[in-house]
Amino acid sequence: MVTSVVTGGAGFLGSHLCDKLLAEGHEVVCLDNLITGNVANIEHLAGNSAFRFIKHDVTEYIYLPGSVDYVFHFASPASPIDYLQLPIQTLKVGALGTHKALGLARAKEAVFTLASTSEVYGDPLVHPQKEDYWGNVNPVGPRGVYDEAKRFAEAMTMAYHRYHGVKTRIVRIFNTYGPRMRARDGRAVPAFITQALAREQVTVFGDGSQTRCFCYVSDLIDGICRLAFGEETDPVNIGNPSEMTVRELAERIIRLAGSPSVLVFKDLPVDDPKVRQPDISRARRLLDWQPMIDVDQGLARTIDYFKKDESD
């Protein structure tokens, strides 16, 4: 039996990854201290003999008996609200947490996959962003705690690969959405959906001309698994290259939700990227991967999830 460890496994992405690995026949150990994760995301796995949840802070030493084949390091606050409210924890999980997770992978001779982020590119001066772009990050700005934590985590991962020979993978995750997102975590999709369903004004920061790309969660998890089970060591972008303005996203959600909501504009946050679009040429070539769910289809599924969540 193949055994995988998922840090941050009770979070939005981590819980979907646990589901995918279980479906692939893995035994899964989920580690999460629940500061941003939620047991509701994994409660459907209760009673599954192949799944084990351990409440643990991965900035502390990780001990697990038995063999481990894959370690997926997904633990980290990941939304703007979270990492602005939890700046020290964000830096610690990027540094100490990555160190401890890599130590586990080294001890078990497991493949290590780091969940990095498009935020390593900062407010990019190159568009779209390719993996060989080094980024434009403000290390002392409010977003720097997340950006630099992930940049450090990438450097630590490559150091373990080069110095200790650990088999490592680095996925740079672009904006992802879908069921299990928290309603008010500061990210555009859940914020717009909850406001539209409540028939409130939909809040757009700046004039809404900044661009983003949105990948449905099942597509993202498929790409991550292809990377983890492959041989590529250098970073790989996983995201949907279909670019749109934030204003267009808000208008789509209002239309799909059948809402009478109107847009209201507020000041743009400090260091908010003006553009964000992945170049996924490497993922297409090396992983034979590209997103399959179009944005309207994915948004409709996500809106249905939030409608059901409201009615429960």
Instruction: Supply angle C-alpha 190, 7, 130, rounded to 5.
Output: 65
Reference 186, options 111, 69, 80, 97; nearest CA is 80
Helix (H, G, I), strand (E, B) or coil at 221: helix
Give the Cα separation of 207 and 209 in Å (integer). 6
Among residues 70, 83, 146, 216, the one annotated as catalytic is 146
Residue 5's closest CA among 104, 127, 134, 147?
104
The separation between CA 37 and the C-alpha centre of its own chain, rounded to angstroms, equals 12
The dihedral through the CA atoms of 132, 138, 139, 141 has a sign that is negative
Report the alpha-carbon distance of residue 269 to residue 277 in Å, rounded: 19
Half-sphere exposure at residue 19, Cβ-oriented, CA atoms within 13 angstroms: 17
Assigned token pair, 263: 């847009």
Calculate Rg over the CA atoms of the chain: 19
Decide if 146 is catalytic: yes
Do residues 52 and 29 touch, judged by C-beta distance below 8 A? Answer: yes
The residues annotated as belonging to the active site are 146
